Amino acid sequence: DIQMTQSPSTLSASVGDRVTITCRASQSISSWLAWYQQKPGKAPKLLIYKASSLESGVPSRFSGSGSGTEFTLTINSLQADDFATYYCQQYNTYWTFGQGTKVEIK
């Protein structure tokens, strides 16, 4: 099974900050990685697919990069609406998620 490890687990930031979340795969997954945002009581929302492709309607302050085993999600100029939990997901072999990164207000 492919394991996905996100860091950090929790991140404290302020509006306007640049935030970076890292996701590492236990083996190469090429670029078969997606990022989701989840707010309390809501379903996850797709942000990024194929490591760096922005889903339609997602603000351009979100960006993804990486390939192989190391990936990052960057949020430029964090907005109040961005405080949430973020998950990476590999879809190279079946589907597995990272444990999540909670972005909270500093």
Q: What does the binding site for another protein look like in residue numbers (CB under 8 A)?
A: 32, 34, 36, 38, 42-46, 49-50, 55, 87, 89, 91-92, 94-100
**Cα–Cα distance, 11 to 60 (Å, whole number):** 21
Q: How far is the CB of 50 from another protein (least distance, A)?
A: 7
Q: Do 21 and 86 meet the contact criterion of CB atoms below 8 Å apart?
A: yes
Q: Cα 5 from chain centroid?
A: 11
Q: How far is the CB of 20 from another protein (least distance, A)?
A: 20
Q: 17 vs 52, which CB is nearer to another protein? A: 52
Closest CA to 27 of 54, 59, 4: 4
Q: 75 vs 90, which CB is nearer to another protein? A: 90
Q: 22 vs 38, which CB is nearer to another protein? A: 38
Q: How far is the CB of 87 from another protein (least distance, A)?
A: 6
Q: Look at strands 10-13 and 101-105 and give their pairing.
A: parallel
